[in-house]
Amino acid sequence: MVSGIGIDMIEVDRIAEKIGKETGFKELVFSVNEIRYCEAKAHKFEHYAARFAAKEAFLKAIGTGWTSGTAFNEIEIVDGGNGQPEVVFIGATAKTVLAMNIKKVWVSVSHLKA
User: Beta-strand (E) ranges in the chain?
Assistant: 75-79, 85-89
Catalytic residue among 60, 95, 104, 113: 60
Among 61, 91, 60, residue whose Cα is nearest residue 73: 91
Catalytic residue among 18, 26, 55, 111: 111
Buried b (16+ CB within 10 A) or exposed e, 77-107: beeeeeeebebbbeeebeebbeeeebeebeb
State yes or no: is 43 an active-site residue: no
Phi, psi angle pair for 19, to nearest 5°: -65, -40
State yes or no: is 47 an active-site residue: no
Q: Which residues does the annotation mark as catalytic?
A: 60, 111
